[in-house]
Structure 1
Amino acid sequence: MVKARTQDIIDKFGLELLSGEEGVHRPITTADISRPGLEMAGFFNYYPADRIQLLGKTELSFFERLDTEQRASRMQQLCTDVTPGIIISRGMEVPKELLAAAEAASVPVMVSPMKTTRFSSRLTNYLESKLAPTTAIHGVLVDIYGVGVLIMGKSGVGKSETALELVKRGHRLVADDCVEIRQEDEDTLIGSSPELIEHLLEIRGLGIINVMTLFGAGAVRSHKRVTLVINLELWDQNKHYDRLGLEEEKMRIIDTDVTRITLPVRPGRNLAVIIEVAAMNFRLKRMGVNAAEQFTAKLADVIEDGEVEDL
């Protein structure tokens, strides 16, 4: 499925379309942007034709030094049947050779009033977000003390009920039941809710509730970076659960490893409080404070001192 088209960047940045209107629905397949300086000089051996082409003051200043035949030839080579668009920055005048070549090849030519470097940065960020790898995970995403906590587990284990208690305790709901996750960077996962179920929470026996209507706008947020996964599972007496917190389990989502904590569920355990503390403890670990390691070090010192006294 096509995630971005030339028309999207026209709408997003308010670009002025001057030529090649027939090509505004061409797909954009890469977030990389090309500034065709070498191509202006006639070197098209490695021309990345499938990228958005951005012409700034440097490229157009060099272009003005070419003769009439070279100008027409370079622009014809610049406009291919896979080029999603050519953008002129700084609101500069567009060469007539470019308009003619673009119209013939149906390549959209757009103008932006922004400076070249600034526009390039904003466009790259926008395309990286639009073209980022995505996946959908069954779970609940909650913002707890600034930590994006993805609560997972089998259906009926109590994920939504726990999220409701967390919202009552002042935390913010991002998504319930289905969490759409996109990888915007090598280690950055951004979770959000599908538009259809945004701000909604399903509680068995109660039905669907609108969290924003009940608790206010401060109880929800549109997206959040996923940094911790809490996996809820029914208590298994035969299974060994980590009691010190020294073992750090990882879960791979798309191409990113995220810390995962497994919490056993049984009557009497206040899951909301436990998850809240887990989020705070995760923040402390990232700040360099690890209670489990400190306890282990103290225990080793006590054991060592005891051995010395025995000798």
Structure 2
Amino acid sequence: MNTNRSVRVKDIVEKFQMEVINKGTDYDTEILTITDVNRPGLQFIGFFDYFDPRRLQIIGKSEVTFLRGYSAEERRKRFEDLFCYEIPALVISRNLDVFPECLEMAQKHGRTLLRTKYTSVEFTAMTIDYLNHALAPVITRHGVLVDVYGEGVLIFGDSGIGKSETAIELIKRGHRLVADDAVEITRIGSTLSGTAPELIRNYLEVRGVGVIDVEKLFGVGAVQDSTQIDLVIQFEKWEDDKFYDRLGLDENDTTILDVPVPQITIPVSAGRNLAAIVELAAMNNRQKKHGFNSAREFAAQIDGHIDRVTRENELKNQNP
């Protein structure tokens, strides 16, 4: 699992086409490791408690208007206090003019000074969204990921048990392949998203046939770049002496990147239509998310029937 991810400041500059006003001494190597950004309004009045210098610093119209109320010497002191910290960069929004004192202190302390055309709110939202994805924890698991009726279904199982063959049948039924063999799973907040490594994207291996390009064989509608992971299905060989849940009342979760995901086990044996079972599992999982549980409803009906029969028998016994 890769949880120590980082983004270079220069990559953010290129992505959002920012203007570099001053290159800091570490501009080529400076990295961001957390998703939060900071607007240093409190720091400009001298409050540095709980200040995290690892964050990208952003000032906009409010901060600039506030700083105009100071003399040049006072502004110089405010910017020097900020640049004494090893911040990755200070970004000025709206293409606002740069205070000479700001540029002077940035050059003195070797800090990166940037400018963007976007407003502070726009740039903050775009940057946080970008960092949330770029810095998200990632793990690679062996399996098959398909989108079935809008549900992201991750299929695990031993090699040769039929994962890829099931994926082919699902594709023929109109569903979409996301990844075969290796699935890259990313956690953003409490949501898991899966995709295929770039090198094997849209490819699927079938023993006896070889590797096929699903997009070219079945069309662009047969593949999907990524999907949220909603359900994990574990394929395992059928064991006659093992008990398998027949009602579906047992609800189990598996944990991936500290996020619980519903999991079911499907026993594999000759004659079972695995693609149809996966479709049913996906639809059933979607219904459960919307508050409808067939197994519980069935069990409640059985319990209700037993209660009625019991009461009727008791009445009969009381009034023979």
**1:295 and 2:295 matched:** no
Q: Report Cα offsets for 1:105-147 as digits up to 9, x if no partner.
A: 3322221111211221121111111111111111111011110
Partners of 1:64 and 1:41 lie apart in 2 by 13
Change over 3 Å in CA distance of 1:80–1:193 after alignment to 2: farther
Which residue number in structure 1 is paired with residue 318 of structure 2?
none
Which residue number in structure 2 is paired with residue 208 of structure 1?
211
Which residue number in structure 1 is paired with residue 282 of structure 2?
279
Partners of 1:144 and 1:24 lie apart in 2 by 44
The within-5 A match list for 1:233-272 is 233-272=236-275
Conservation of the 8 A alpha-carbon contact between 2:176 and 2:223: yes
**1:305 and 2:308 matched:** yes
Which residue number in structure 2 is paired with residue 14 of structure 1?
17
Which residue number in structure 2 is paired with residue 144 of structure 1?
148
Partners of 1:70 and 1:277 lie apart in 2 by 69
Q: Report Cα offsets for 1:26-50 as digits up to 9, x if no partner.
A: 1101101110001111223432211
Change over 3 Å in CA distance of 1:104–1:161 after alignment to 2: farther
The residue type paired with residue 213 of structure 1 is K
Partners of 2:138 and 2:211 lie apart in 1 by 26
**1:160 and 2:164 matched:** yes
Conservation of the 8 A alpha-carbon contact between 1:40 and 1:62: no
| 3-state SS of 1:139 partner | strand
TM-score between both structures, scaled by the size of structure 2: 0.93
**1:91 and 2:95 matched:** yes
Q: CA deviation at 1:81?
A: 6.3
TM-score between both structures, scaled by the size of structure 1: 0.96
Which residue number in structure 2 is paired with residue 4 of structure 1?
7
Which residue number in structure 1 is paired with residue 317 of structure 2?
none
CA root-mean-square deviation: 1.4
| 3-state SS of 1:124 partner | helix
Tell me which structure has the larger Cα radius of gyration: 2
Q: CA deviation at 1:67?
A: 2.1
The residue type paired with residue 145 of structure 2 is L
| 3-state SS of 2:32 partner | coil
Conservation of the 8 A alpha-carbon contact between 1:133 and 1:182: yes
| 3-state SS of 2:31 partner | coil
Identify unmatched segments of 5+ residues in structure 2.
315-320
The residue type paired with residue 154 of structure 2 is L
Change over 3 Å in CA distance of 1:102–1:257 after alignment to 2: same
**1:128 and 2:132 matched:** yes
Conservation of the 8 A alpha-carbon contact between 2:5 and 2:136: no
Q: CA deviation at 1:78?
A: 1.8
Q: CA deviation at 1:71?
A: 1.6
Q: CA deviation at 1:24?
A: 4.2
Which residue number in structure 1 is paired with residue 44 of structure 2?
40
**1:114 and 2:118 matched:** yes
Stretch of structure 1 that moved more, 259-268 or 289-298: 289-298
Identify unmatched segments of 5+ residues in structure 1.
none
Q: CA deviation at 1:80?
A: 4.7
Q: How many residues are treated as equivalent by the alignment?
A: 310
| 3-state SS of 1:113 partner | coil
Q: CA deviation at 1:157?
A: 1.0
Conservation of the 8 A alpha-carbon contact between 2:287 and 2:293: yes
Which residue number in structure 1 is paired with residue 33 of structure 2?
29
Partners of 1:278 and 1:62 lie apart in 2 by 59
Change over 3 Å in CA distance of 1:84–1:240 after alignment to 2: same
The residue type paired with residue 277 of structure 1 is L
1:176 to 157, 180, 183: 180
